[in-house]
């Protein structure tokens, strides 16, 4: 058999891609639901954009010199020889959607989206080649209070998911004018260490020196430590803008730390940039849960009118890692019949409880009662409702507790009138 045939037969996921099953899938749904609820409270509504777009869309908006475009895109030629790419992020598509759907006169637009993104990065815990983002884009507001609002929504997510040991890092990279004078100073500074810089940073020195600040290379990092701060190069307008963002956060009691090297890994930002980071475990470096900022120039750069905007995106995979064990317990019920004679009564009971209480009810119908009880136990069912000949005759249900809840100990049983079962369960599960 040739090697090709063997490869084709191999059944495995592609490197950096994974299945979300069990606790991971449960955490995924819980996190998405929480995020949706939070951003809806800020007036965001959902958009869906394609997973594949023209490669030029990302190259033009994220920047040719960024790692994402230069090294990490999944790009292909389609059957008509057009270069297309799996989306590495959502902002470029949102801006494209604003323009192609002719919504640039209909502002502001507050959008949220979630779904898979693709980057050909080196996989490790918390970093995947297919990963999930949940993002918001606030298009059409130039007020610094929109930056505050957007950061507040991200902070709400961290609070709602009860994520500990997180820090909000904040910076401003000013407007184009601020960056132009800062870039000159950076070129002067880094040129002194040209030969010590990584090959990537040497190349970026003249093309896009700001990108050097984002380098993860340890030697570059040392040099970056003493580099000049952008904050000294902000124009008075940019400075005032940033002061108002900081003032807003302070008024809302949102703690933050300044990080003057926070330029973000994508080229479209100006003014405010921020990230919320944490250490996932002691021996792992801190990772960003969310990153974002203002991007006033992007819509125009992509062929639309000048429209200011601000947004962020959370990495859902990283939230799953940090949140996994904190999902509030879900009360599960199972309804079990003893013999075939009782199966339809039991089926009806399961259906009634599901619709009246809007709660998950399992109805295992294979195997004997012991097998179905074992399955209920394995699924962490709180109580199994058993219907046998005796129960049907006396219009009752036997409730067997598989988990201790309130005054009912694991393993005990209680017989309840059928007409009272939904009330009983409602009170049992009520906090």
Is 292 a binding residue for ligand HAM by CB under 6 A? The answer is yes
Task: Give the DSSP per-residue string, 134-203.
Answer: EEEEEES---HHHHHHHHHHHHHHHHHTT--SEEEEEEE---HHHHHHHHHHHHHHHHTTGGGS-HHHHH
> What does the alpha-carbon distance between residue 144 and residue 241 come to, in Å, rounded to a whole number?
6
Judged by CB under 6 A, the residue of 135, 140, 209, 248 near ligand HAM is 135
Helices 316-323 + 23-40 axis angle, to 10? 120
The distance of closest approach from Cβ of residue 175 to ligand HAM in the complex, given in angstroms and rounded to an integer, is 17
The distance of closest approach from Cβ of residue 21 to ligand HAM in the complex, given in angstroms and rounded to an integer, is 18
Is 91 a binding residue for ligand HAM by CB under 6 A? The answer is yes
Helices 144-160 + 236-251 axis angle, to 10? 40
The distance of closest approach from Cβ of residue 215 to ligand HAM in the complex, given in angstroms and rounded to an integer, is 15
Nearest to 91 by CA among 119, 121, 61: 61
Is 121 a binding residue for ligand HAM by CB under 6 A? The answer is yes
The distance of closest approach from Cβ of residue 71 to ligand HAM in the complex, given in angstroms and rounded to an integer, is 12
The distance of closest approach from Cβ of residue 155 to ligand HAM in the complex, given in angstroms and rounded to an integer, is 14
Which residue number, 288 or 338, has a Cβ lying nearer to ligand HAM?
288
Is 58 a binding residue for ligand HAM by CB under 6 A? The answer is no
Is 211 a binding residue for ligand HAM by CB under 6 A? The answer is no
The count of residues in the chain is 431
> What does the alpha-carbon distance between residue 331 and residue 363 come to, in Å, rounded to a whole number?
15
Kindly state the helix (H) or strand (E) to which residue 6 belongs, with its residue range: helix 3-9
Judged by CB under 6 A, the residue of 291, 304, 308, 388 near ligand HAM is 291
> What does the alpha-carbon distance between residue 32 and residue 134 come to, in Å, rounded to a whole number?
8
Is 127 a binding residue for ligand HAM by CB under 6 A? The answer is yes
Is 315 a binding residue for ligand HAM by CB under 6 A? The answer is yes
Contacts (Cβ under 8 Å, ≥6 apart) of 257: 167, 168, 169, 170
Q: Which stretch binds ligand HAM (CB under 6 A): 157-165, 167-175, 292-300, 350-358?
A: 292-300
The distance of closest approach from Cβ of residue 297 to ligand HAM in the complex, given in angstroms and rounded to an integer, is 13
Is 134 a binding residue for ligand HAM by CB under 6 A? The answer is no
Residue with tokens 């009782």: 342
Chain contacts with ligand HAM (rule: CB under 6 A): 89-91, 119, 121, 127-128, 131, 133, 135, 137, 265-266, 288-293, 295, 311-313, 315, 317-318
């Amino acid at each position: 058999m040739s090697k090709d045939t063997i490869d084709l037969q191999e059944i495995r996921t592609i490197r950096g891609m994974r299945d979300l099953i069990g606790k991971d899938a449960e955490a995924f749904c819980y996190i998405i639901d929480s995020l949706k609820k939070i951003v809806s409270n800020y007036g965001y509504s959902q958009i869906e954009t394609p997973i594949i777009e023209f490669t030029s869309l990302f190259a033009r908006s994220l920047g040719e010199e960024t790692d994402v475009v230069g090294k990490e895109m999944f790009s292909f030629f389609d059957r008509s020889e057009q270069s297309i790419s799996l989306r590495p992020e959502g902002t470029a598509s949102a801006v494209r959607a604003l323009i192609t759907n002719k919504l640039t006169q209909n502002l502001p637009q507050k959008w949220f989206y979630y779904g898979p993104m693709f980057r050909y990065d080196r996989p490790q815990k918390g970093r995947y080649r297919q990963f999930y983002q949940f993002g918001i884009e606030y298009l059409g507001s130039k007020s610094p209070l929109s930056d505050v609002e957007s950061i507040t929504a991200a902070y709400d997510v961290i609070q709602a998911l009860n994520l500990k040991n997180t820090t909000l890092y904040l910076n401003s990279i000013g407007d184009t004018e601020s960056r132009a004078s800062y870039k000159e100073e950076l070129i002067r500074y880094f040129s002194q260490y040209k030969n010590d810089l990584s090959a990537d940073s040497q190349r970026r020195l003249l093309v896009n020196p700001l990108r050097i600040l984002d380098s993860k290379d340890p030697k570059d990092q040392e040099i970056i430590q003493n580099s000049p701060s952008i904050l000294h190069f902000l124009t008075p307008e940019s400075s005032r803008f940033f002061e108002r963002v900081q003032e807003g956060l302070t008024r809302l009691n949102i703690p933050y730390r300044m990080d003057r090297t926070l330029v973000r890994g994508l080229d479209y930002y100006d003014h405010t940039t921020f990230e919320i980071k944490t250490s996932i475990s002691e021996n792992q470096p801190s990772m960003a849960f969310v990153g974002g900022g203002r991007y006033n120039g992007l819509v125009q750069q992509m062929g639309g009118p000048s429209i200011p905007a601000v947004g962020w995106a959370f990495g859902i995979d990283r939230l799953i890692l940090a949140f996994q064990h904190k999902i509030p317990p879900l009360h599960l019920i199972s309804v079990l019949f003893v013999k075939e004679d009782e199966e339809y009564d039991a089926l009806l009971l399961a259906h009634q409880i599901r619709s009246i209480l809007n709660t998950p009810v399992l109805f295992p119908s294979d195997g004997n009662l012991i097998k179905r009880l074992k399955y209920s136990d394995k699924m962490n069912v709180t109580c199994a409702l058993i219907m046998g000949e005796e129960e049907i005759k006396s219009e009752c249900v036997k409730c067997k507790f598989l988990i201790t809840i309130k005054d009912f100990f694991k393993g005990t049983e209680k017989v309840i009138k059928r007409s009272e079962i939904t009330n009983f369960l409602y009170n049992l599960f009520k906090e």
